[in-house]
Structure 1
Amino acid sequence: MSSDYALPIPQNRVIVGFGGVGVDLLATVPTFPKPDSKNRTTDLKVQGGGNTGNALTCAARLGLKPRIISKIANDPQGRALVEELEAEGIDTSFMVISKEGTTPFSYIIIDNQTKTRTCIFTEGYPKMIPEDLPRPRLLSALDGAKLAYFDVRMPETALLIAHEAFNRKIPILVDVERPREGLDELLPLTDYAWTRASTIPRALVSIMLRLPRLKFVIVTLGKNGCIMLEQLADESPLLEEIDIDSDLESLSKSKDDSTMPTIIASSITRFTAEGIGSVCGRLSIGTAEKIPESEIIDTTGAGDAFVGAILYAICANFDPRAMLPFASYVAAANCKALGARSGLPYRTDPYLVSVFAPRW
């Protein structure tokens, strides 16, 4: 397809991602098996996985040039994983490959009836340590990067890379999937944060006050969409102060019945949270695509797809309010195929082109 019918290529599209990669063994079953029973699969797929591997694959399909830093073993699974990443256009030259050990892998059981998935993760070994990444190699990986992404795994090495990115003024996006070792040390260096965990608006204010570098925090809520709080300069002493819980409730009432992702945003306001403080910014609600039950295949990697789209949106200088519908669509597309990568859209996707390309 002609480049005239594709998302534009950002001027600087090099990003660096550090964190988890692995192999997913995905099995769909009519219903989740009961203990001490036997069951037959209705579909089976072996595919690359891991938060960082999935997010960078999404970003690559949207037009970025990701470099990945991680560690695998020189086993059949590891070699296949590298081949798959390279086929997507991801630079794997900074990966560490152990002569011995095991590449991480997950068994994933998808219940066709409930549309849920159960993951059983096996860690690889040996784990990556800072000594695996000599300074000249680290500097080469970060050279010219627009953005750095972390999923907060292998914390000692993550902090080594993050501090260097911070010193080189490379913005950092962190996936706060759940509390992990090293997260408290990593967050003060962070420009953008994203989390799957359900939260309350008061918590968003608290996060902003504790981490003044943050430009925005996004909380994803599955089929209920997402919430974003942007931090903006307080340029007017006349800004109205509004309780953030009340504002979110008011925005929620404005949701429409659209089947495709939309956004409802507040005006620039000073949001207050009793007993916590206040921040100046904009609160936004992003709705999720309403996917017919018959079209939902597998939710594995939906969150990674969302963050991969956010990586692209930052590099492409999206208005923050345009990011949420964009990322929600990409995440929804990934739920319509088996595995964390099969349904990821490419930059030539007709809907992405028709809705988002004209914004440039």
Structure 2
Amino acid sequence: MSEKLVLTFGAACIDYIAVFDTFPKPEDKVRTQSLTLCGGGNAGNTSTCLSRLNINTKIVCKIGDDGNGKKILQDFKNDNVNTQEVLIKQGMTTSLTYVIVDITNATRTCLFSPSAEEILVDDVKKLGQSWLNGIDLVHFDSRSTPAAVELARLVKQNNILCTLDLEKYRPSLENLLLLIDYIVTTERYSLSCNETPVTTAVRLLKSDRCKFVVITKGKDGSMLVQKRILENKNENFNRVSKENIVYDDIEYDVINCPSWPIDQKDIMDTTGAGDAFIGGIIFSILQKWSIEKMMCFASYVAMRKLKGLGARMTLPRLDEINFSIFD
């Protein structure tokens, strides 16, 4: 395992994944090709990805003391994710997600059934400082946002790096954004804000703390935007393209990276691809890799995930990766 230690903060749940030839129409009665029970949740998936990449990882999430909660803990232990900070609520039903996978169109639709209680501000006030002992980076998945803000303030006081998976608008989000070093979001989020990916990134970069914003675009790859760094020694990666733009008299670097090549027939399920991508980003930050190498590596990790059912089945392990393909 790496000497680096990452704390993830957010959601862990159980995914019930039903595979269909095509998405059912209203009033249809159709048979599934398969029904699979597996671990899910944004923070949970990214934790598993990091652990398989030999990054010491511990997770803070809240689960119930039911069968699904026990399965979540066992899955984490099987992947060497540290669960000592997991909050277990007696009598609470653990969150679960019903996932409909459309094989023909390579899409997935998620129906989320949340638990009765997220991580609370009081949980952070009681335990937050102890969670940060020895931590090099904290990753937030934007769930339990008020509690995340409380923890992010402690993170800042302790001079610890932090990343954010910005999935959609949530209460207290604006307060959290001011405390984040690196943001990964989606083209869908930009559309929900009536913005383009670039204007979303420029808005988020107005925070003095934020160093870069990555926007994922599914099969169309990803884009990174950062304030122009004149002394930036960019590596020459043929897979990425670079340009400079100006907004409100401020110069920005824009780096576009295509998705890693994969045959359509090899795409089993897109569930958790974004979480895998974020795992690749965090791994790269800890290695202090160049922006270009980071984007390529994260794209590769996401591609590997696409080959399996559920969010974790085909997440790569460190010793399976030929790192020369990123040189």
TM norm structure 1: 0.83
User: Does the CA contact (< 8 Å) of 2:186 and 2:217 recur in 1?
Assistant: yes
For residue 223 of structure 1, the aligned residue among 198, 219, 223 is 219
User: Which residue is equivalent to 2:183?
Assistant: 193
| Cα distance in 2 for residues equivalent to 1:282 and 1:322 | 15
TM norm structure 2: 0.91
User: 5 Å matches for 1:1-360?
Assistant: 10=2, 12-135=3-126, 137-197=127-187, 198=190, 199-208=196-205, 210-233=206-229, 262-266=239-243, 271-273=245-247, 276-279=248-251, 281-351=252-322, 353-356=323-326
User: Does the CA contact (< 8 Å) of 2:20 and 2:101 recur in 1?
Assistant: yes
User: Does the CA contact (< 8 Å) of 1:13 and 1:63 recur in 2?
Assistant: no
User: Does the CA contact (< 8 Å) of 2:197 and 2:215 recur in 1?
Assistant: no
Moved more, 35-44 or 297-306: 35-44
Larger Rg belongs to? 1
| Cα distance in 1 for residues equivalent to 2:321 and 2:292 | 21
Give the drift of 1:203. Answer: 3.6
| Cα distance in 2 for residues equivalent to 1:120 and 1:127 | 18
Give the drift of 1:265. Answer: 2.7
| Cα distance in 1 for residues equivalent to 2:51 and 2:266 | 25
| Cα distance in 2 for residues equivalent to 1:89 and 1:232 | 39
| Cα distance in 1 for residues equivalent to 2:105 and 2:228 | 41
1:285 partner SS: strand
| Cα distance in 2 for residues equivalent to 1:52 and 1:150 | 7
The 1:41/1:354 distance shift into structure 2, 3 A limit, reads: same
Moved more, 157-166 or 27-36: 27-36
Q: What residue identity is the alignment partner of 2:324?
A: S
Moved more, 149-158 or 297-306: 149-158
1:229 partner SS: strand
**Structure with larger RCO (C-alpha < 8 A, sep 6+):** 1
Stretches of structure 2 lacking an aligned partner (at least 5 in a row): 191-195
User: Which residue is equivalent to 1:247?
Assistant: none
| Cα distance in 1 for residues equivalent to 2:146 and 2:302 | 30
The 1:81/1:214 distance shift into structure 2, 3 A limit, reads: same
User: Does the CA contact (< 8 Å) of 1:14 and 1:147 recur in 2?
Assistant: yes
1:189 partner SS: coil
Q: Deviations over 1:108-127 (max 9, x none)?
A: 01011111111110001233
The 1:345/1:235 distance shift into structure 2, 3 A limit, reads: closer
Stretches of structure 1 lacking an aligned partner (at least 5 in a row): 1-8, 237-254, 257-261
Q: What residue identity is the alignment partner of 1:79?
A: K
User: Does the CA contact (< 8 Å) of 2:177 and 2:204 recur in 1?
Assistant: no
Q: Deviations over 1:228-268 (max 9, x none)?
A: 112355579xxxxxxxxxxxxxxxxxx98xxxxx21234xx
